[in-house]
Structure 1
Amino acid sequence: MMLKELVYLLLVAFVREKTCARILAVVPVPSYSHQLFFRPLWKGLNARGHELTLMTTDPMPEAPNNIKQIDWSFAYDLRHNKHNITKVVQDNEYNLPKILASYQAMMNEIVDEELARPEVQALLNDENERFDLLMVEYFHPVMFAFSERFKCPYIALASMEIANFYHKALGNPIHPVLYPEILLPFERDLKFSERLLSTLYVIWGIVHKKYTYGSSVEELMAKKYFGEDLPSLQRITRNVSMVFVNTHPVFNVRPLGPGFVRIGGGMHLEEPKPLPEELKMFLDRAGEGVIYFSLGTNVRSHHLSKGLIQAFVDTFRELPYKVLWKFERDVPEKSSNVKIVRWLPQQDVLRHKNVILFMTQCGSQSMEEAIFSHVPMVAIPFVSDQKMNAQKIVGSGLGLFINKNTLTREVLMKAILEITQNSSYKNNVRQVADLMQDQPMSGLEKAIWWTEYVIRHRGVKHFWHPNLDLPTYQFLLLDVIGFLVLLHILTIFVAYKIVKNVSVLLLRGANSNKVKTN
């Protein structure tokens, strides 16, 4: 019996040695919702026996032994205090180039400091270190260069829809009307002004990337940390094996190449856990219903204007419901039906039977959590993809949209009462949840299966079109269209000349006959 057990253990060890990989996971963006989305993937890969080194701004508490974590939590100070990106977005709401420039400047500084950390430098300078796979958040191309340093394939990850530039760079078709940029505040049935704005934005994005890529700060930073002989970031970007995107066909209808894998549909949802006793008591006793209000982790509620906060306070005071409000500070003028909490286990709160409405900033994860909990929404977007998500909520009948710039007590009260007293919104949410869940594999199962596919084949080249470097004029068929137009004009010209010459000859013949007759 002991011999059998020994043979079994040796066999297991042999199989693990052959099949289990060393994975470097890099998630540089200081955003708790982003980090939270990927955690089930790290835990799932760990459960499969893979060994992970995770660079993250939010280290997992009680991480398994074979997940080594490098702490980048200092990046939150740069985001919220030094750059205060939320305020920049609010102050320049319709100036997309300035918003993008601010994001880029912020991420350049964050990535520079992340790569300079002693733990990262030790990893880069260790000649004996090796990895079988890099899994990296797509936000900053310099981080893709880890794949060159360790000579391993990489998978790019996105906790939300990615920019059209990235789609274009990897061969997916882009269209300013069918697939507007995620930062634009519209999604379907675009008016002429919106179509014009979307088209100009796409053109600006292509030109901006084309003429700043080679000499950009990112290129210099990449060579600083990964060596002067590093290939261009454009080449490294196109060397990706697969891209995992947190989208779902129910909300995101666009053609994708086989190298793109949709992992949306509640991948980050955790098993239900008991609520804290005080919170549970508040929700249990709210038989009249509870409105849950949260602006997520990236928008600080205390940064809102006094007028906007007062509009919320005045509205909540008149509601016949309880209100659970995630707020980082106390609100002295709040009414007795309002409970202020600095942090909440959002998934478990939304699952509570008495929660009847979610007032949300429309982050991708918050939106999914509400849908899978069958809770309709009042959408109050602020930054990033939230405005487009708000359009998806309205277009699918899951709730109503309120512009924060025109929000008043009357507008908010009308929206809340409309949703809470009209069962169609809750029915629509339940129907969409059923559609999203009705798939052969969950997003997590797909992510793990395709991750191990890339590991087994040491990278994936056959999913990507070989002609991604087509010049724009060839991609748009401008040379072919020009040739056909020229050929058409030439044909008309030749036909015109023939008809004209024949007419002249016939006219001369007719005149000659007249002379002879006379």
Structure 2
Amino acid sequence: MSPLPWLLVILAACCVESYKVLVVFPFPGKSHAILGDGVVRLLLKAGHEVTYITPILNKKPPPNLHQIDVTDNYQMFVNNKDMINIAQFFKVKQQMTIKSLFDFMFQMHKMTFNNPNVQRLCKDPKQHFDVIIGEWMFNDLYSLFSTIFQAPFIWVSTVDPHWMALQLIDQSTNPAYTADIQSNSIPPFTFYERVQQLVYQIVGYGLKKFYAAKYEQEIIELVKPLIQYRGHEVPDFEELRYNSSLMLGNSHVSMGSAMALPQNYKPIAGYHIETDIKPLPEDLQKLMDNAKHGVIYFSMGSNLKSRDFPDEVKMGLVRLFGELKQTVLWKFEEVLPGAPSNLKFLQWAPQASILAHPNCILFITHGGLLSTTETVHFGKPIIGIPVFADQFINVERAVKNGFATKVDLDFNMVEDLRVAITEMINNPSFTKRVKELSFIYHHRPVSPGAELVHWVEHVVKTQGAPHLRSPALDVPFYQKTYLDLAAVLLATIYVVFATLKFICKRFLCSRGKISSKNKKNN
């Protein structure tokens, strides 16, 4: 055999630059792990060496993947068990407040930095990285890793562009036409909604600036010894938080709106979806192939459990699905008795493979951003049943974009769902619209995965991509809002007014004296 092919392979391998990357995705949730796994998978495929801080471990990691175990972070959900319990949302119609969200995230960040495995990683003098990629979750503290390892930092925003995240690389969005992530309103806003968005932003900024500061300082004090241990100076955190190189966003205009975004924000929604869709299990493949009237897929995501629905709602849904001529796949943690023949329970559902099947005609979902991304990717209309966090605004956007119907999570949801299913199946405009958006989603110069790898490598090759840094980060708030100009104008007006008042007073006073003198002479 000719040695030429082997020589070419060796030469090609030598030409590939391999970087050492630290990926920080320690949130104890499957959906977040999917996004973290997507980053890792793409970087490994590109030939880079990855160290991965994660609560969900790969049992057979490849040679160039080093996992840092933070499974202890799951204790967060043990301590906050009602946070993702559907039954609780039937009792209390209230979303998590921004304050409670801050509290939860700070607990998780503290657990991550306190984890012995993370401490060992940070203290190991042999550990060096070319770039660090961290998940932004309503907290900026993972940027401390860039100081520990003296490497450029990239944020991954797992939600649609959010003012609190964007201010780290540019400036906050205008609340007059940009919705807060916890809102259920979408632009154009009414007067009340516009005021509401402004209040959301002011309250969020105030809480982050004053309430969150003490928690941030607590964790900074925790991390200080790690920075000093490696012989580095502890930076001012206010400067550090705005020193990231780039933000990779799990967003795309096909699912949101055409926002004004800075140069160092790169929308790469869908990067977590593998290009080669895995085949369905044989029994599921046969079931979907033989579904003459199509398949309806129902899933409340990876964190919410269908078993937590109240019994009357569960049984009502079973009866409803039994009335349909379509085959229904329900991601459920157990098998309910008395299920009709057209209803199949799936404890584990290969969601991408199900949505990719041509016989899947409708997706009933909680409205998580991964699910709404996948439905546009595969061109399937949805019925959204939002429960908490960004699910409300994700579903509202889908409704506005014309490929979804919303059903509220309450005791009337079975009847509301019956109406929604009938409407979605009998109205082809929903499918037509999502196919149009799917074309827009796919019609990109390169795939989102290729773009992710490109920008990570770009940051390393340009030593932090300072050319993408927004000048807005170097302009104080009072200058951005022209408060200094307002102060000068007010001072000028005051001086002019005071001068005129003084002149008038002197003039009137002198006139008064002249008048009095004339009267006296007369």
Task: List per-residue Cα deviations over 1:28-72 (Å, max 9, x = no partner).
Answer: 112222222343432332233211112222233543321122233
Go from structure 1 to structure 2 and tell me whether the alpha carbon gap of 1:438 and 1:61 turns closer, same or farther (over 3 Å shift): farther
- Structure 1 counterpart of 2:374: 369
Instruction: State the 1:94 CA deviation.
Output: 4.2
| Segment of structure 1 superposing worse, 482-491 or 434-443 | 482-491
1:235-254 correspondence runs (5 A): 235-250=239-254, 251-254=256-259
Instruction: State the 1:130 CA deviation.
Output: 1.5
Q: Say if 1:23 and 1:135, in contact at 8 Å, map to a contact too.
A: yes
Instruction: State the 1:245 CA deviation.
Output: 0.6
1:361-510 correspondence runs (5 A): 361-405=366-410, 407-466=412-471, 468=473, 470-484=475-489, 487=492
Instruction: State the 1:473 CA deviation.
Output: 3.2
Instruction: State the 1:460 CA deviation.
Output: 1.9
- Structure 2 counterpart of 1:178: 177
Instruction: State the 1:470 CA deviation.
Output: 4.3
Matches of 1:303 and 1:297 in 2, distance apart? Answer: 13
| Segment of structure 1 superposing worse, 283-292 or 121-130 | 121-130
Matches of 1:311 and 1:80 in 2, distance apart? Answer: 29
Q: Say if 1:351 and 1:373, in contact at 8 Å, map to a contact too.
A: yes
- Structure 2 counterpart of 1:81: 78
- Structure 1 counterpart of 2:47: 49
| Segment of structure 1 superposing worse, 332-341 or 356-365 | 332-341
Counterpart secondary structure, 1:215: helix
Matches of 2:169 and 2:341 in 1, distance apart? Answer: 54
Q: Say if 1:172 and 1:256, in contact at 8 Å, map to a contact too.
A: no
Go from structure 1 to structure 2 and tell me whether the alpha carbon gap of 1:2 and 1:218 turns closer, same or farther (over 3 Å shift): same
Instruction: Give identity over the alignment, percent.
Output: 27
Go from structure 1 to structure 2 and tell me whether the alpha carbon gap of 1:50 and 1:500 turns closer, same or farther (over 3 Å shift): same
- Structure 2 counterpart of 1:219: 220
Amino acid at match of 1:81: V
Task: List per-residue Cα deviations over 1:387-413 (Å, max 9, x = no partner).
Answer: 110011100001101121364332111
Matches of 1:318 and 1:497 in 2, distance apart? Answer: 87
Amino acid at match of 2:133: M
Q: Say if 1:289 and 1:321, in contact at 8 Å, map to a contact too.
A: yes
Q: Say if 1:379 and 1:401, in contact at 8 Å, map to a contact too.
A: yes
Counterpart secondary structure, 1:99: helix
Task: List per-residue Cα deviations over 1:425-448 (Å, max 9, x = no partner).
Answer: 000000000111111122111111
Q: Say if 2:102 and 2:212, in contact at 8 Å, map to a contact too.
A: no
- Structure 1 counterpart of 2:94: 93
- Structure 2 counterpart of 1:132: 130
| Segment of structure 1 superposing worse, 343-352 or 226-235 | 226-235
Matches of 2:273 and 2:13 in 1, distance apart? Answer: 31
Amino acid at match of 1:26: V
Instruction: State the 1:497 CA deviation.
Output: 9.4
- Structure 2 counterpart of 1:514: none
- Structure 2 counterpart of 1:516: none
- Structure 2 counterpart of 1:279: 284
- Structure 2 counterpart of 1:509: none
Go from structure 1 to structure 2 and tell me whether the alpha carbon gap of 1:346 and 1:92 turns closer, same or farther (over 3 Å shift): same
Q: Say if 2:296 and 2:360, in contact at 8 Å, map to a contact too.
A: yes
| Segment of structure 1 superposing worse, 248-257 or 376-385 | 248-257
Instruction: Mark the runs of 5 or more structure 1 residues left unpaired by the alignment.
Output: 507-518
* Aligned pairs, number: 511
Task: List per-residue Cα deviations over 1:120-164 (Å, max 9, x = no partner).
Answer: 333222212211111121224333222212211121112322542
| Segment of structure 1 superposing worse, 468-477 or 3-12 | 3-12
Instruction: State the 1:290 CA deviation.
Output: 1.6
Matches of 1:354 and 1:438 in 2, distance apart? Answer: 24
Matches of 1:320 and 1:480 in 2, distance apart? Answer: 68
Matches of 1:101 and 1:146 in 2, distance apart? Answer: 20
- The answer to whether the aligner puts 1:122 opposite 2:123 as a matched pair is no
Instruction: State the 1:260 CA deviation.
Output: 1.1
Matches of 1:276 and 1:315 in 2, distance apart? Answer: 26
Go from structure 1 to structure 2 and tell me whether the alpha carbon gap of 1:273 and 1:97 turns closer, same or farther (over 3 Å shift): closer
Go from structure 1 to structure 2 and tell me whether the alpha carbon gap of 1:150 and 1:368 turns closer, same or farther (over 3 Å shift): same
| Segment of structure 1 superposing worse, 3-12 or 351-360 | 3-12
Go from structure 1 to structure 2 and tell me whether the alpha carbon gap of 1:225 and 1:335 turns closer, same or farther (over 3 Å shift): farther
Counterpart secondary structure, 2:405: strand
Instruction: State the 1:422 CA deviation.
Output: 0.2
Go from structure 1 to structure 2 and tell me whether the alpha carbon gap of 1:53 and 1:323 turns closer, same or farther (over 3 Å shift): same
| Segment of structure 1 superposing worse, 20-29 or 32-41 | 32-41
- Structure 1 counterpart of 2:341: 336
Instruction: State the 1:493 CA deviation.
Output: 8.2
Go from structure 1 to structure 2 and tell me whether the alpha carbon gap of 1:389 and 1:7 turns closer, same or farther (over 3 Å shift): closer
RMSD between aligned residues? 3.4
| Structure-1-length-normalised TM-score | 0.87
- The answer to whether the aligner puts 1:312 opposite 2:310 as a matched pair is no
Instruction: State the 1:340 CA deviation.
Output: 0.9
Task: List per-residue Cα deviations over 1:221-256 (Å, max 9, x = no partner).
Answer: 333544495324332221211111111123132222
Matches of 1:472 and 1:169 in 2, distance apart? Answer: 13
Instruction: State the 1:181 CA deviation.
Output: 1.4
- Structure 1 counterpart of 2:196: 197
Matches of 1:136 and 1:258 in 2, distance apart? Answer: 19
Q: Say if 1:330 and 1:340, in contact at 8 Å, map to a contact too.
A: yes
- The answer to whether the aligner puts 1:326 opposite 2:328 as a matched pair is no
Matches of 1:159 and 1:323 in 2, distance apart? Answer: 30
Go from structure 1 to structure 2 and tell me whether the alpha carbon gap of 1:489 and 1:421 turns closer, same or farther (over 3 Å shift): farther
| Segment of structure 1 superposing worse, 79-88 or 31-40 | 79-88
- Structure 1 counterpart of 2:150: 151
Go from structure 1 to structure 2 and tell me whether the alpha carbon gap of 1:332 and 1:483 turns closer, same or farther (over 3 Å shift): farther
| Segment of structure 1 superposing worse, 283-292 or 190-199 | 190-199
Matches of 1:334 and 1:10 in 2, distance apart? Answer: 59
Instruction: State the 1:179 CA deviation.
Output: 1.5
Q: Say if 1:37 and 1:268, in contact at 8 Å, map to a contact too.
A: no
